[in-house]
Structure 1
Amino acid sequence: MLLLLLVPAWAWAQTPAALEQADAAWNQLRLHGDAKALAPLLADDWLLTHSDGRVQHKADYLQELATRQRRNTRIDNEDVQVRLHGDTAVITGTSVQAAVSDGKPWQGRFRFTRVWLLRDGQWQMLASHSSRLAETAP
């Protein structure tokens, strides 16, 4: 016998699976350069701290994606941990990335921290920070 449970959208949004889906969308939308679809995932006051210490605001980041000044070609996450604290969540992990920024290719491994907030039944990212990991010798 199949038992179906109806879960209200607001309750489902509070599950780790919903948050993991939002975080995965963050990576996929960056890979595809879809700034329009990415915009609602980011809070209006979202802030990105790059691994070189540079700080970027939502509008600047989305414009960079939309104009293809930045084209991500690889984003693979490892060791991801999700910690929920009420309507706030912190996601940490390691990201292996490759991209082209202003015509210059780059790649690397980064430790990341992302802070998410549940607003009106949807997860929105408030901040993202990454630190480049030192390359290990073969």
Structure 2
Amino acid sequence: MKRTLCLLFFALSCTLAVGQQKAAAKAADSEKTKAALIQLDQDWGAATVRNDLAFVQKLVADDCLFTEADGTVGTKAEMMADMQSGKSKTISNQPTEYNVRLFGPDMAVIRHNITTTGTENGKDASGEFRRMHVLVRRDGRWQVIDSQSVRVGPVSMASKP
């Protein structure tokens, strides 16, 4: 009886240890994914400063929608056209305070603050914003499928032509 109890205790201990190892490995993978997503977002910010259309074209899904700080909603095609024409010009991006939440292996939400310097339609569009991006993994790579910006602090309403 003692031997049976010892074997049962040993088996239970091994099962718990394996479970803990799997949980630790999953947590480590989760942290790696979060770090990779933060880096991807920072690379996106740098790409907009360089006006790297190829990087943005690949990262942003064709069906992505952008809700801007003034409440307008734009498409990827509109954003790409604005970047290409120079209508939208980013001089600097300084992101901070990242929060990444994973919803399974193929969906994530990134929130962060960002201080941006740039112009829109030749007018200063600089400021501090809170941004949220929804990403999904498609064909083995992450893509932004939705994005929203909210201005932090006093807001002066400007009309877009």
TM range, normalised to the smaller chain? 0.7 to 0.9
Shift of 1:133: 1.0
| Unaligned stretches of 5+ residues in structure 1 | 1-10
Which structure is higher in RCO with an 8 Å CA cutoff and minimum separation 6? 1
Cα deviation 1:21-54 (Å, max 9, x = unaligned): 2212211111111122210101110011000001
**Which is greater in Rg?**
2
Q: How does 1:3-82 map to 2 (within 5 A)?
A: 15-82=33-100
The secondary structure found in structure 1 opposite 2:125 is strand
Count of equivalent residues: 124
Q: Please tell me the residue identity of whatever aligns with 1:113.
A: M
Tell me the residue number matched to 1:83.
101
Q: Which structure shows the bigger proportion of residues in helix conformation?
A: 2
Shift of 1:68: 1.1
Using the size of structure 2 for normalisation, the TM-score is: 0.72
Tell me the residue number matched to 1:130.
149
Q: Please tell me the residue identity of whatever aligns with 1:35.
A: L
2:129 & 2:145 partners in 1: Cα distance? Answer: 19
Moved over 6 A (4+): none
Using the size of structure 1 for normalisation, the TM-score is: 0.83
Give the conservation status (yes or no) of the 8 Å contact 1:69–1:102.
Answer: yes
The structure 2 residue matched to 1:105, chosen from 109, 124, 130, is 124
| Unaligned stretches of 5+ residues in structure 2 | 1-28, 155-161
Q: Which structure shows the bigger proportion of residues in strand conformation?
A: 1
Q: Percentage identity across aligned positions?
A: 33
